[in-house]
Amino acid sequence: MISRLSLFFSDFFTRSHWLNIVLTRKTFDDTFSAFGKIWLLINVTSFFLPATKPYLSDNSYLLMGGIVAMTFWVSRPRLSVLSNVKNCDMQIEIKVGNLFDFRGAYVIGTNSTFEVDTSTGVISPESLQGQFASRFYKNKFLELDADLERALNGFEFDELDDGRAGKKKRYPLGAVAQLKKSNKIFYMVAIANLNPHGSIENSSFDNIQHSLSELWKKVESTGNIDPLVIPLLGSLRCRLKQSRNDFVKEIINSYSVACLDKKLCEKLIIVISPQDYRKHEIDFEKLRNYLNCKCTFPELTSYPDKPENI
């Protein structure tokens, strides 16, 4: 909560926020629209309390203070957007925050060999994978590897023989390992391949789309209806050119298609990290409009067929 308040105030007083949000025609229109409604209420109230108008006239600073307060309110930084899917008891929310601060089942992007050991330098301790291993497994990588091995039982894999030091089993992109730890559910989904040097290779936005599609299938077959908390899969380490806004829209599109004739969960929470929010141009107003459109007209959502094997 403290970090969200800190983010709120630090964002409000940035130059870009004032130029792009506060000092805009929309903020001006919204402020005086709200002021007009309040003034109408004052006029109605004055019929019953005649002293209201003279009091405001003698204390004009109250009106000016009210206008300033309304300007601050309508131009406040948006750190969350929520919309209800039409004709369905289901919600989609976009929020700024840390993934594990939200309640629900967690989605974590990983590599196709499910390499998790942060001590080798391949996986960053600061990544969601690294945070997951530290927070819930106390960096006991042998235990985590054993749980992953059981969860991936039944998936086909290729045995790699390219001299790499890490794991040799490469699972198909979109493979999902469902883990249960500390009374929580985690979906680790393979979104990219690692080369023998531990770097991402041949990544593409199509791979992300395919992995999302496989994720929804896993949630449908093995999950419950608890909220599903998902980051912007592949937005950082896959080195893709798409913007953070594109990743958010893709998750919304993919999820909307998966839910056209079934309900995967009560709520989908798309989490944008505070670092991404500060560094990149996350336009919450446009995302709100996009989300509302998709939730109001889910039947208009279309999605190209993807090949079965990528």
Which pLDDT belongs to residue 306? Answer: 44
Nearest to 280 by CA among 254, 228, 243: 243
Give the fold, CATH level 3, of 80-300.
Answer: Leucine Aminopeptidase, subunit E; domain 1 (3.40.220)
Q: What is the DSSP letter of 21?
A: I
Residue range 55-69, pLDDT digits in tens: 766 777 777 787 788
More confident residue, 235 or 18: 235
3-state class (DSSP) for residue 272: strand
Give the model's confidence band at 4: pLDDT under 50 very low, under 70 low, under 90 confident, else very high: low
- What pTM does this model have? 0.82
Mean pLDDT of 246-252: 95
Which pLDDT belongs to residue 232? Answer: 96
Which pLDDT belongs to residue 20? Answer: 62
Which pLDDT belongs to residue 132? Answer: 96
Other Cβ atoms less than 10 A from the Cβ of 273: the count is 19
Contact 12, 43 (CB under 8 A): no
| Domain range summary for the chain, segments of one domain joined by + | 2-74, 80-300
Other Cβ atoms less than 10 A from the Cβ of 132: the count is 21
